[in-house]
Amino acid sequence: MTIGVLALQGDFDAHRRRLEELGADVVLVKKPEQLDAIDGLVIPGGESGTFLKLLGDAGFDKLKEFVHAKPTFGTCAGAILLATEVENPKQKGLGALNIRIRRNAYGRQIDSSIREGKFLNGDRRESPLEMVFIRAPKIEHIGEGVEIIATEGSDPVAVRQGKTMAATFHPELSDDPRIHQAFLELCGTDTPVRRR
C-alpha cells in the first residue's frame, strides 16, 4: 500500500515521517499523474487558497476524481479543500466531506494554540488527545453521512465520511500517532467506495 502526501505547499514532511514511522510506503505527490499510483492521500495544512492556485483547474479536477474514489485525509487547509462548502471567504471545495467549514475561525488572539480534546476510538470510547491548532478552520455544519471522530470543547474537530477523513488540527505535530493510524486503517478497510 502506497500513501501519497500532497507536497505542493505546507507541512507535508511531518506527515511523511509519521506515516513512515507507522510502516507505510510514502511518496510525495507533486504532479497530478502521481495520483494514479497511490492507494491513499494526505492533504496537509498550509493555505487552502494557495493550494487552489497551485493546483489550477486541471489539477483540481484530477484531485476531485481521486478523493471521490480513494481514501483521503485532510488536515487544516486539507480539511478545507475536502469540504462541500467553505466560508470566509467562500471558495470551491472538492466535495468529499458533507460539511460547511469556516476558514480562520478562531480570531487573532487564539489563532494558534495547543489544546486537549477527545478522540473517539473505533469502539466509540473517548480518550484525551493533544491538538495543535494553527489558524484553524471550524466545522460549522455536519451534513448527513458524516461521523465525528474527535471533539474539542463542543466543536467537532475531526470527521469521517466513507473513506474521507479530516481534522482541523495538526496531528502530525503531536507525538500521538493514533489519528494517522486511524487513516491507515481506513486505507486498508474494504468499506464500499462512495460515489456521487
Catalytic site positions:
76, 170, 172
478552520: which residue's cell? 137
Among 9, 34, 104, 174, contact with ligand GLN (rule: CB under 6 A): 104
Sign of CA dihedral 188, 190, 191, 192: positive
Among 19, 24, 42, 80, contact with ligand GLN (rule: CB under 6 A): 80
Give the integer Cα–Cα distance in Å for 42 and 53.
Answer: 18
Distances (CA, A) of 108 to 92, 104, 115, 136: 24, 9, 16, 11
In the complex with ligand GLN, the residue whose CB is nearer, 54 or 69, is 54
Give the integer Cα–Cα distance in Å for 69 and 115.
Answer: 33
> Considering the complex, what minimum distance in angstroms separates the CB of residue 71 from ligand GLN?
20
In the complex with ligand GLN, the residue whose CB is nearer, 24 or 101, is 101
> Considering the complex, what minimum distance in angstroms separates the CB of residue 111 from ligand GLN?
8
From the list 35-43, 72-80, 119-127, 186-194, the region that binds ligand GLN by CB under 6 A is: 72-80
Among 134, 157, 158, 184, contact with ligand GLN (rule: CB under 6 A): 134
In the complex with ligand GLN, the residue whose CB is nearer, 76 or 146, is 76
Among 135, 148, 173, 174, contact with ligand GLN (rule: CB under 6 A): 135
Among 76, 97, 99, 149, contact with ligand GLN (rule: CB under 6 A): 76
Q: What is the dihedral of CA 181, 185, 83, 138, to 10 degrees?
A: -30
Give the integer Cα–Cα distance in Å for 104 and 16.
Answer: 25
Structural contact between residues 77 and 91, judged by C-beta atoms closer than 8 angstroms: no
